[in-house]
Chain A
Amino acid sequence: MKVVVADGFEFRFSDAIDAYVFDEKDSSKPTFHGAPMKGVDIVAEFDDAYVYIELKDYDDPSAYDVVKASSDDERKARLDSFKWLKNYLKYKFRDSHLYRYAEGKVDKPVHYVCVLTFDNALNSRMLNELKRELPIGKKPKRWTHALAKSCQVVNLDKWNEVFPKWPVSRVITAAPIPEEAEHA
């Protein structure tokens, strides 16, 4: 069992060989990232695959829905937000994959799973766009290897439904009581 806590979520990988915070910022840890590159939150290694996991937890997911807007300005802002998120997820993967290449750790099929707080419908839309742009699936004729075997976009409920061996839950952090907070 490998337990990883990242971005306020705890993942329990019951069958992982290894799993850790990939973009580790603590230089005292052996898994310190240490490169001027973007990094996904977690990388987990299994017998036959690597899984990259990126988490994004939003208070207001609708702000990223392209179609929402009561004015043109708002529509543009939301369109920009969706594109921004898509690009964010895209470059996170590419930088992480390049980093893993330099580590000599791209010897197994790679699956990229993004965990977003969208509904299934909006996640489906993000998945289609992301797959096209990463790219995953259709690759250029000159390539002999695929960048990754698959990309998925799920919410927390869906993650727990489809990956029962890797349950995820929110980490509850106790808020300081007012007196402690005052003296802190």
Chain B
Amino acid sequence: MISKLYLKNFIAFTDLSIDFSPGINIVIGENGTGKTQLLKAILALSSAEAHGAQTDEQLARKLCRLYHPLSGQVGGLRRTGTRGKSVLNGTFASGQVITAKFYGKDTATSGDVPAPAIFIPTKEVLSLVRGLTAEQPDLPTIERIFDDGYLDLANQLAKEGASDLDAKVQLDPRFASIVPRLTNLIDGQYLLENGRFVFEAGRYVEKDTATRSKAQHAQMYQDSTEWKFVPSSKQHLSSGMTAEGFRKIGVLQRLLSNGSLNPGTTGPLLWDEPESNLNPKLMNDLVQVLLELARNGQQIILATHDYVLLKWFDLLMDKGKGDQVRFFSLYRDSSTRDVKVSTTDDYLQIAPNPIDDAFGYLINQEIENDMGELGK
């Protein structure tokens, strides 16, 4: 869990400090204000490359693979027109502090190891796993096409799970409230078969209580529900034949089922534009899942342009359940053009809010069309 991020002279950022909530963090901002760059900085600081032997060189390469600077050197990520070294500094909840500094081509790092983060990029990755994790991959080509955000996730998705999802749902109440909802949202689940993901149509249904043994009854809490996945077809579909929005939900499903995402243990879940390719109708359930993950100790940091996503968090958060949702607005200072951040826990106080401004421009046009010069 990251509690604070400080970026200096790094790509879009001259001097930026952000305090994260342990729950849900939502970053908004116009294009070019560094939302994705910010998520990737957290990914880099909590990556395996930020610790161990030869950390400095490893992290420099990691940063290059994440951001693809033109020069191919980490120095290409230094903010132009600024003085001094670039600094990336992350303070993590268990007291670890990771600092990376660089000027030219080498980084200097210090600090202990935080739990690794998970980054879900804008494009879906499930259908790319087969190509990205092949036994003899053409790595130089792959790395030219995809940044490390994609490759890291592909590797996390390809991990074999310790136990099957059904068993997890039965054993762990955290999963019982999340996995059936995700599965029923897309009417099926993604399975890894021979190195590629396939889609098995079906739904989670409540197990008939009559089929439970007495012993099972005795073990159960009164209000618990037993779930069982019931396939609706024997035939599996290739993941490429399913909707891209479904595949994005499938990513979350897979990360939970193979243990890559383990609320309470995993580092922050970083998700760049969850709304892309997602039917807005699915947003309500997706937000409920994310809130449920956060209630189980999963820190989540999202970047979004989407009103519906933003609003669902505002509407569904329940302070009584301990929900903490913090909004961050990245914007460029009108005189210095430096990226600044404003932070609030109150949706209505988000300022500037380019997402709501977009609706405001519609209102402006409507008034101009209908009322002409009246009042102007």
Interface residues of A (CB under 8 A from B): 46, 48-49, 51, 61-62, 65, 67-70, 111, 119-121, 123-124, 127, 149-150, 152-154, 158, 161-166
7 interchain pairs, CB-CB under 8 A? A51-B374, A67-B311, A119-B359, A152-B366, A154-B363, A158-B364, A162-B363
In residues 330-376 of chain B, which contact A (Cβ within 8 Å)?
347-348, 353, 355-357, 359-360, 362-364, 366-367, 370-371, 374-376
**B87-95, B235-243, B313-321: which one contacts chain A?**
B313-321
A48 to B374, CA, bound (A): 9
Chain B contacts for A152, CB-based, 8 A: 363, 366-367, 370-371
Contacts A67-B311, A119-B356; is A158 near B348 (CB within 8 Å)?
Answer: no
User: In angstroms, how far is the closest chain A Cβ from the Cβ of B26?
Assistant: 15
Choice from A68, A69, A111 contacting B371 with Cβ under 8 Å: A111
Closest to A66 in B: B315
B307 at the interface (CB under 8 A from A): yes
Given contacts A119-B359, A164-B376, contact A70 B371 (CB under 8 A): no
A47, closest chain B residue (CB):
B374
Q: Verify A70–B370 contact, CB threshold 8 A.
A: no
Q: How many residues of B contact A (CB 8 A)?
A: 26
8 closest cross-chain pairs (CB), A and B:
A163-B375, A150-B370, A120-B359, A68-B315, A120-B360, A121-B359, A120-B356, A119-B356
Q: Please indicate the chain A residues that have their CB under 8 angstroms from the CB of B307 in the complex.
A: 121
In the complex, A165→B376 CA distance in Å? 5
Given contacts A67-B315, A120-B356, A150-B370, contact A165 B348 (CB under 8 A): no
Number of A-B contacts (CB under 8 A): 77
Q: Inside 8 A of B366's CB, which chain A residues have their CB? A: 127, 152
Alpha-carbon separation in the docked complex, A49 to B347 (Å): 37
Chain A residue numbers with a CB within 8 Å of B315 are: 62, 65, 67-69
Which A residue sits closest to B314, measured CB to CB? Answer: A62
B363 CB contact (under 8 Å) in A62, A120, A149, A165:
A120
Which residues of chain B are near A111, meaning CB under 8 Å?
370-371, 374
Q: Are A124 and B376 in contact (CB under 8 A)?
A: no
Contact between B348 and A119 (Cβ–Cβ < 8 Å)?
yes
CA distance A83 to B339 in the complex (A): 41
Asked if B357 and A70 make an inter-chain contact with CB atoms under 8 angstroms apart, the answer reads no
Which B245-291 residues have a C-beta within 8 angstroms of A? 284
Contacts of B311 in A (CB 8 A): 65, 67, 121
B348 touches A49 (CB 8 A): no
Check if B348 sits within 8 Å of A61, measured CB to CB: yes
Q: Give the chain B neighbours of A49 by CB distance below 8 A.
A: 371, 374
Of B311, B314, B353, B367, most buried by chain A (CB within 10 Å of CB) is B367
Q: Chain A residues near B348 (CB, 8 Å)?
A: 61, 119
Taking the closest CB of chain A, its distance from the CB of B355, in whole angstroms, is 8
Nearest neighbor of A65 in chain B, beta-carbon distance? B315
Q: Give the distance in Å from the alpha carbon of A53 to the alpha carbon of B313 in the complex.
A: 32
The minimal Cβ–Cβ distance linking A89 to chain B, given in whole angstroms, is: 16
Contacts of A119 in B (CB 8 A): 348, 353, 356, 359
Contact among B312, B360, B362, B374 with A46 in the assembled complex (CB-CB below 8 Å): B374
Output the residue of B311, B355, B375 with the most chain A CB within 10 A. B375
B360 touches A165 (CB 8 A): no
* Residue numbers in A under 8 Å from B316 (CB-CB): 68, 70
B370 and A121 form a contact (CB under 8 A): no
Q: Once bound together, how far apart are the Cα atoms of A46 and B375, in whole Å?
A: 9
A51 to B372, CA, bound (A): 13
A162→B375 contact, CB < 8 A: yes
Contact residues of B between 16 and 61, Cβ < 8 Å to A: none
Query: In the complex, A147→B371 CA distance in Å?
Result: 15
The answer to whether B360 touches A158, judged by C-beta atoms less than 8 angstroms apart, is yes
Given contacts A46-B374, A119-B348, contact A162 B356 (CB under 8 A): no
Asked if residues A163 and B363 are in contact (CB atoms below 8 Å), the reply is no
**B residues near A68, Cβ cutoff 8 Å:** 314-316
B360 / chain A contacts, CB cutoff of 8 Å: 120, 158
How many Å lie between the Cα of A32 and that of B315 in the bound state?
42
* Shortest distance from the beta carbon of A165 to any chain B beta carbon, whole Å: 5
